[in-house]
Amino acid sequence: MNTENITLSGGEKIGLISNLSTMLISGISLLETIDSLLEDSRGNLKKVLEVIREDMAQGKYLYVSFSQFPNIFDEVTVNIIHAAEEAGTLDQTLKDLREYLTKEMEFSDKVKNALIYPLVIACVFFSVLFLILIFVIPKISQVFLRLKVPLPLPTKILIFISNIILHYTIPFLSITAILILGLFYLSRRHKKFFLNILLNLPFISDLARIIDLTRFSRSLSLLLAAGIPITAALSLTKKTVNKEDIARVISSAGESVLSGKRISDALKEAKTIIPVIMIKIIEAGEKSGTLDRSLQEISEHLDYQVSQILTRLLTLMEPLLMVVVGIMVGSMMMAIIAPIYSMIGQVGAR
């Protein structure tokens, strides 16, 4: 079975971890738990459980099974399970992991929901534009051509695009499909390049930085709580962030720890990237030996900040989008109405 391409939804993954945690805490063995879950599972979830069941029968650890599904369980999850199995705390760690995954999914949903409104507006606008180009422009253009009305440039552009769509439908659709597929392919193949461009845009850059710091602090907190050495934990959390400057700061923190220094020492050198309050809390956590709890508090604080920013963004975005769409629709309608007024003016002059 090719396990690398198997995926699960966020809800299915959290449900699996939650069920494993609940049944293990109840005293049911891991093998019995898998057998019980297999009875009611279907689809990709059943495939995952079948692989785990087969590995369990061969005496393999759970983390080995999880590592076979890279599209479901990332390196952070696999290493947490590995450390928990070695420490004999799998039941409690699975419970912590469930809470971590739930917060991550809620966090991702907040960001995705903020993008839904502008995408819906864009889709509606382009749908209306497409219908106008197919049904309205052809009829009006015939009238203009018969009466030989002088047309402004925007009207000529609309008629030109409408003619291409109507008279060269197959080539138009083919070229459009090729362009979309090409962009999709390039974005997948050079994901990091396009992501860096997007994340360095003025307003998005600050929001992306806070999102990365939230994921960094939450992941590092869980890894340290699971008993993973801090150097290994930093190496893993570096893969959870998207912005290169934050990844460099995390690498620098790992080097500081290897040289006998503290994480906060490296973070102090990046005050323009890392908030001062975050550095202070981490420093206090290192001194008191409660770094994992301090990082958890930081992640909750940053999560709240992201929620506030997204709320403000949506509040500002709604009227702004309406203005932009209004200007675009108004410009399009003027391109249609202007020649009609011109024609009426000529008739009136006669």
Same-domain check for residues 321 and 250: yes
Same-domain check for residues 25 and 149: no
Structure tokens at 126: 């382009």
Q: Which residue has the tokens 């995408």?
A: 119
Same-domain check for residues 223 and 270: yes
Would you place residue 350 in the very low, low, confident or very high pLDDT band (cuts 50, 70, 90)?
Answer: low
pLDDT tens digits, 150-182: 788 888 888 888 888 888 888 888 998 999 898
The 3-state DSSP class for residue 330 equals helix
Mean pLDDT of 67-79: 89
CA quadruple 156, 345, 147, 132: dihedral positive or negative?
positive
Same-domain check for residues 46 and 175: no
Would you call 21 exposed, middle or buried from its count of C-beta atoms within 10 A (0-12, 13-18, 19+)? buried
Mean pLDDT of 277-300: 90
Percent of the chain clearing pLDDT 90 (strictly above): 11
Same-domain check for residues 138 and 46: no
Would you place residue 349 in the very low, low, confident or very high pLDDT band (cuts 50, 70, 90)?
Answer: low
Mean pLDDT of 302-310: 86
pLDDT > 90? residue 207: no
Would you place residue 294 in the very low, low, confident or very high pLDDT band (cuts 50, 70, 90)?
Answer: very high
Same-domain check for residues 153 and 234: yes
pLDDT tens digits, 256-274: 888 888 888 888 888 888 8
Task: Provide the number of structural domains found in the chain.
Answer: 2
Same-domain check for residues 323 and 243: yes
- Quote the pLDDT of residue 154: 84
Q: Are 12 and 58 in contact (CB under 8 A)?
A: no
Same-domain check for residues 160 and 217: yes
Q: How many C-beta atoms lie closer than 10 Å to residue 147's C-beta?
A: 11
What CATH number is attached to the domain comprising 113? 1.20.81.30
Distance CA 338, CA 220 (A): 62
Same-domain check for residues 62 and 106: no
Residue range of the domain that includes 265: 95-350
Same-domain check for residues 60 and 110: no
Same-domain check for residues 49 and 133: no
pLDDT tens digits, 114-128: 778 788 888 888 888
